[in-house]
Amino acid sequence: MKKLLGLVCVIVIAAVMVVTCPDKNAHMDVIRNEFSMAIDDIMADNVKSEGDNAAYQVVKSLALPLLETAWKNKLDYRNYFVLSTTAVKDEGEKKTVSIGVFGHVFTFDRKDVVKEFEKYLNEESGEKNDSR
């Protein structure tokens, strides 16, 4: 009887994990939020006047759509039914950026998200400069 109860519990937990497994959009939302908070952190450290604040707000409003476009193309989303992950390719190796389980997406350090985005922007601008 205990074995049957244990088996039922495992099946129920696995079913809940499958039903609540986050999709790619959920991962994108959390990554976008992390990037937005990273920009806010940078702003808090560097804003010295109202003009600086306005400039950072403009940069933020331009950077977030770029982030979404860049990461949609660069993110490798994997659904393992009970959990999902996203990764980016960095110098030939894939780095996991987020893990989703039970309806929640957990990202790694915000600084890593910003660093990967900066690398992408540098690669893109380098490619455009090379083609001229």
From first to last of its 132 residues, the chain has per-residue pLDDT tens of 899 999 999 999 999 999 999 999 999 899 888 888 877 777 776 666 666 777 777 877 887 787 777 777 778 899 999 999 999 877 778 888 899 999 999 997 777 666 666 666 676 666 555 444
Q: What is the reported pTM?
A: 0.74
Structural tokens at position 103: 């309806």
Helices (H) and strands (E) in the chain, counts: 4, 4
